[in-house]
Amino acid sequence: MSEPRLGLTLGPLLYLWDDAAWRDFYFRIADEADVDTVVLGETVCSKRDHFHSDSLDIVAERLVSAGKRVRMASLALVTLERELKAMRQLAEQDRYELEVGEIAAHGAMGGRPHAIGPMVNVYNAATARVLAKGGATSVCLPPELPAASIRAVVAGAPELAFEVFAFGRVPLSISARCAHARLKGLTKDNCQFVCGDDPDGLPVDTLDNQPFLALNGVQTMSSTSQSLLGDIPALHAIGVSSLRLSPQVCDMVGVARTFRAVADGTVAPMAGLDHLMAFYPEAAFSNGFVHDLPGHQLV
């Protein structure tokens, strides 16, 4: 009996894009991208919500019509009363599956089925089982986990489907303060949405000009782009059921096509990496975390 086909999930867009670019991106994903699930919604900063609120339903319907499964994601950090209210409203809707961005949203689901996003700290099987008892059906594991930990979590919570973060800048942390605005001489309250000037993140170098991190509003990200193309067979073998692709300013349809081909065994991983480099020439790729090495390294 053959193994189930490895799924592909397009994670939420983590950056601030203008509405026309955002809408056109998802329309193309709907029409051309070979992905199974698309996660929509603002997970980084609630001040960005209004940019796409008028287009959200149109995009979701277009994706569903194209045969994609749609999830709505909640914020990864709730600090204000209006954010708490919005999170509860999102938990109450039943049109789309919710992807929980932080633990309060998990509690707000009241045991109803939902997904867990990668910013929730699921570092062991016991945590995964607790979340499953609370209604979780799938978990996107934190991107910093090595393969040995992934194997242990998957084996210890067989009632859940597990996903790994396989492509894109890695979300490392999130803060109540906005370093992106501060770097440009502004404050979070009067940020003027300067994060929109950096639609693929703002690179941050060390004092000796070595790539270090990237800023995305209140979020800190890796300077490199994760690529687990060469690790797909091993991850599938230990029970991972889906790979997450995080949108970047590149040909994401081509990226999805490459991951699909490597997952299906029709393209070799090294050839697939060559394709990724062509689709996203600005990126330096890495997979160190899954090999229990510094995350910026490429094995």
Measured distance CA(265)–CA(18) in Å, rounded: 37
Banded pLDDT at 126 (limits 50, 70, 90): very high
User: Does the residue 69 lie in any domain?
Assistant: yes
pLDDT over 70 at 136, yes or no: yes
Distances in Å between the alpha carbon of 297 and those of 20, 203, 229? Answer: 35, 17, 14
Find, among 280, 272, 217, 206, the residue nearest to 47 by Cα.
217
pLDDT over 90 at 294, yes or no: yes
Query: Over the stretch 152-208, which tens digit does the pLDDT of each residue have?
Result: 999 999 999 999 999 999 999 999 999 999 999 999 999 999 999 999 999 999 999
Query: How many residues are listed for the chain in this entry?
Result: 299
User: Does the residue 196 lie in any domain?
Assistant: no
pLDDT over 90 at 276, yes or no: yes
Q: If you average pLDDT over every residue of the chain, what do you get?
A: 96
- The 3 state secondary structure assigned to 249-277 is CCCHHHHHHHHHHHHHCCCCHHHHHHHHH
User: Does the residue 257 lie in any domain?
Assistant: yes
* For residues 61-88, average pLDDT: 97
pLDDT at position 52 is: 94
pLDDT over 70 at 2, yes or no: no
| 11 contact partners, CB below 8 Å, separation of at least 6 | 39, 118, 140, 165, 168, 244, 245, 246, 247
CATH code at position 287: 3.20.20.70
pLDDT at position 262 is: 97
Say which range, 1-15, 126-140, 192-206, has the weakest mean pLDDT: 1-15
Host domain of residue 137: 7-172+224-291
* For residues 55-68, average pLDDT: 97
Query: Over the stretch 207-260, which tens digit does the pLDDT of each residue have?
Result: 999 999 999 999 999 999 999 999 999 999 999 999 999 999 999 999 999 999
pLDDT at position 78 is: 95
Residue matched to tokens 């160190």: 288
User: Around Cβ 266, how many Cβ atoms within 10 Å?
Assistant: 9
pLDDT at position 72 is: 98
pLDDT at position 203 is: 95
Number of domains in the chain: 1
Measured distance CA(282)–CA(40) in Å, rounded: 25
Q: Specify the pTM.
A: 0.96
pLDDT at position 137 is: 98
User: Does the residue 296 lie in any domain?
Assistant: no
pLDDT over 60 at 1, yes or no: no
Distances in Å between the alpha carbon of 150 and those of 80, 115, 124? Answer: 33, 17, 8
3-state helix, strand, coil in the chain (%, to 5): 35, 20, 40
User: Does the residue 185 lie in any domain?
Assistant: no
pLDDT over 90 at 267, yes or no: yes
User: Does the residue 211 lie in any domain?
Assistant: no
Q: How many CA atoms lie within 13 A of 176 on its CB side?
A: 4
pLDDT over 80 at 3, yes or no: no
pLDDT at position 4 is: 83
User: Does the residue 36 lie in any domain?
Assistant: yes
Distances in Å between the alpha carbon of 273 and those of 62, 137, 165, 226, 255? Answer: 30, 31, 16, 11, 10
* DSSP letters spanning 169-187: EEEEEE-SS-HHHHHTT--
User: Does the residue 180 lie in any domain?
Assistant: no
